[in-house]
A and B are shown apart, each in its own frame.
Chain A
Amino acid sequence: MEPINWHSVFFLVFALLACGFAVAVLLTSNIVRMAFYLVLSLAATSGLFFLAGADFVGAMQVMIYVGGTLVLLIFGVMLTAQGPFISMKTSAGEWTLGIMVGGLLLAVLLQAATSIDAWQPAAVIEGDSRPTATRLGMGLLGARVDKLDEVDPVQRGGMSGYLLPFEIVSVHLLVVLVGSAYLARPKKRVQNSSWEGLK
């Protein structure tokens, strides 16, 4: 009997958790339960990231996605979950159509994923894991330290870092912050009469 590959075992556990809770998000009609299942699915996905060697992305997944985005969504759920909006049933016709189209899409994607030989598992994964945070940070600052010893000039063309997208994203976040605060501002205007009273 072959020795158990613990990487594969943990992959199986996290993959089943992620896919199972994603399907649970789809199947439940209670919005509060959907939010809870989504938290668990995203957290399990961060485990998949760790297993693929992407430690920084996995940590960011937990911090930004689970800690930030989902808290935001749950706030939205709490603000709007009243009476009939907690559990909104979908009609059977929409279910049939959605499942049919989704099943076809899944069949195409699975066919594409399993048909390439180069993507099949090749060998037992070995090698020491190196943390990626420094390399990612240098890449965001515009220096690709992971491609410095690249001899192929074509591949070296990809050595440009991500400084410009980084700046664009930072300005984008500022715009989003201002824009969403403006959109969600309270609508009640100060009454004119109260202004009159101040005069």
Chain B
Amino acid sequence: MNLLTDPVGITHYLIVGAILFVTGAVCMATKRNALGVLMGIELVLNGANVNFVAFGSEYLRPGVLGIGLDGQLIALFVIILAAAEAAVALAIVLNFYNNHSTVDVDRADELKG
């Protein structure tokens, strides 16, 4: 198959969403900086958004009734909630930095038994 001449389907969008999701998940798992973990969360949410928009698109599957406009509406809600989550998480990270003088998530082990 030729990527330059063939039309794009939902599969292509799903592949991009999967790559974004997996990079975000690995980012969350491996980064030691708390802000790096936050960026991983943003990537995961973005990968999910790509899938929502692809399934809601009326151009990728002509004539098939998908989830329609719901996909875009859910994607909007995800964007809004990601903004809210980033604000709260950033406040928590700044608090942690003020109290412990570090942003290393491995140092946040005071609750360890």
Contact = CB atoms under 8 A, between A and B. Distances in A.
Interface residues of A, number: 99
A54 B54 CA distance: 9
A153 interface: no
A73 B23 CA distance: 18
Contacts, number: 275
Nearest to A180: B91
Q: Size range of the interface on B?
A: 35 or more
Nearest to A147: B68
Interface string B34-68: 01101110110010011001101111111011001
Given A118-B61, A176-B87, A57 B18 contact: no
Contacts of B10: 119-120
Given A85-B102, A90-B32, A121-B9, A25 B80 contact: no
A118 B11 CA distance: 9
Contacts of B29: 94, 97-98, 101-102
Given A22-B43, A146-B68, A183-B92, 6 more contacts: A23-B23, A26-B30, A79-B97, A88-B104, A113-B15, A127-B59
